[in-house]
Amino acid sequence: MGGPHPPAGREDAEGATAVPYRYENSRGQTYYLHGKEVTLRNDRKQQIYYFARAPKAGEALDALPPGRAVVENPRTGLPFLKGIGTAPAAAPAAPATRTAPKGTAATSAQRTATRR
């Protein structure tokens, strides 16, 4: 019943349109996968993916992006993409370390003892 439906009726590359990737949720509602590149506030560009009830020209995708799987929110039935760990990802950042400002002798035990 619910689940992804692979695109059917793909035609050759001679000007034919591809069928958008669609997902039918557990409630029988059909959603189409879309993607677009957005510009963030810091002028960095990022690819986003979303599902919509109707396919939109220029944004509908015909396949899942590599390293992603469709997951359905159990409460709302809305589908979303989740990484499955097989796509090449950016190198993990080193964990941030916080130290006390120079000239202070605050230890974590002292800090936790004063918190209420």
pLDDT by residue, tens only, the chain of 116 residues: 567 665 544 444 455 567 999 999 999 999 999 999 999 999 999 999 999 999 999 999 999 999 999 999 999 999 999 998 765 555 555 566 666 666 665 555 555 556 65
Model-wide pTM > 0.85: no
pLDDT recorded at residue 9: 42
pLDDT recorded at residue 85: 79
The CA distance from 37 to 8, in Å, is: 26
Question: Is 51 within 8 Å of 77 (Cβ atoms)?
Answer: no
pLDDT recorded at residue 97: 63
The amino acid at 42? N
